[in-house]
Amino acid sequence: MTLRIGTRGSALALAQAQTVASKLGAELVVIQSEGDRSTASLTALGGAGVFAVALREALLAGEVDAVVHSFKDLPTAPTLGLSIAAVPKRGDARDALIARDGLTLAELPAGSVIGTGSPRRRAQLLSRRGDLDVVELRGNIDTRLGRVGSVGGAVDPSRRLDAVVLAAAGLDRISRLDAITEYFGIDGWPTAPAQGALAVETRTGDEKSVAKLDHKPSRLTAEAERAVLALLEAGCSAPIGAHAIYDDGLLFLDARVYREDGSEYLTSSHALYPEDVSNPIGVLAKRVTDELLASGAAELAPLSASRDTRQSGPSEPGGAE
């Protein structure tokens, strides 16, 4: 019986799901979500998790055998009856600028209008360039690129943007790396937890059907980043960046919390050898989040966690699914 892979219908979602389907000899089943139908902001819709709801409903109903998500779009809380069965090898985790006339961020004139739907990217842009006008932007990649003058061709002057910021991995997956005018280095521009990673989800008990796609280093780093988000109890409106690296047996985790206007941020970095503890993701994420909260992260960003409640928690919390 041919495996059925559920996916959203956008060009990016289809490209991502096709990479999974081709390795499994599976067929794609397109499922439309509320996030695809609405033009409201992600915050108004309830966060990036809105894109996962319809896919998960179809999976639980037995309409498909597995679904493919952008891992960064999944809520950190597990869903009863479902499991992340595989995290394929991760793509480029960086953000990228697509600007008119081939400009870099430093070269954009004061007052330039940049579009993004991400509170994190907004804070990072304003942190670097407080003289920019950062505006809310929704839509698929082609729609966003089409708003940039000299990139998308003829644009309604009232809707023209000087630049947008998008995930490099997404642009790569739809063969639009040519549009990038600048890559932002991870060290100074940490991205959304699990950015660049895919998550293949199945019903619990069916994990073996896609398990061969799992890439241990990619799963380890993506889950470590997502554990920071979970421990900070941060919603979609919290400007938080995180990045993990697994190199030569060492797991390194860095996270940064921004004030929403970009005027201030806090950073914490820790590392450990996973074999030294029973729950490396939980231990490492707790070290990072405890330090952030002790330094005042809850006063910078809309976090539900606080220093007092975090310190009363378990010493080795479970890693995020």
Mean pLDDT to the nearest integer, 215-227? 98
The reported pTM is 0.88
* Homologous superfamily of the 95-183 domain (CATH): Periplasmic binding protein-like II (3.40.190.10)
Asked whether the beta carbons of 148 and 100 are under 8 A apart, the reply is yes
Identify the weakest region by mean pLDDT among 36-40, 191-195, 302-306: 36-40
pLDDT of residue 155: 57
In sequence order, which residues have a C-beta less than 8 Å from that of residue 9 and are 6 or more positions away?
Answer: 30, 31, 32, 36
- Extents of the domains making up the chain: 1-89+197-214, 95-183, 215-310
Asked whether the beta carbons of 138 and 51 are under 8 A apart, the reply is no
Mean pLDDT to the nearest integer, 231-235? 86
Which residue in the list 36, 65, 73, 131 is annotated as catalytic? 73
Tell me the C-alpha distance between 194 and 223, whole Å. 7
Question: Does the annotation count 131 as an active-site position?
Answer: no
pLDDT of residue 306: 56
pLDDT of residue 151: 67
Residue 69 vs residues 7, 72, 263, 280, 285: alpha-carbon distances, Å: 8, 8, 33, 24, 23
Q: What percent of the chain has pLDDT over 90?
A: 79
pLDDT of residue 45: 45
Tell me the C-alpha distance between 49 and 22, whole Å. 26
Judge if 1-89+197-214 and 95-183 fold alike in CATH terms.
Answer: yes
- Exposure letters 174-208 (e unless 16+ CB within 10 A, then b): bebeebbbbebebeebbbbbbbbbbbbbbbeebbe
Whether 310 shows a pLDDT value over 50: the answer reads: no
16: phi then psi, degrees, rounded to nearest 5: -65, -45
Q: Which has the closest alpha carbon to 306: 209, 250, 231, 196? A: 231
CATH code of the region 215-310: 3.30.160.40
Q: In this predicted model, what pLDDT tens digit does every residue of 90-146 receive, in sequence order? A: 999 999 999 999 999 999 999 999 999 999 999 999 999 999 999 999 888 999 999
Q: Give the architecture-level CATH label for domain 1-89+197-214.
A: 3-Layer(aba) Sandwich (3.40)
Residue position matching structure tokens 């479970």: 318
Q: In this predicted model, what pLDDT tens digit does every residue of 276-307 receive, in sequence order? A: 999 999 999 999 999 999 999 999 998 876 54
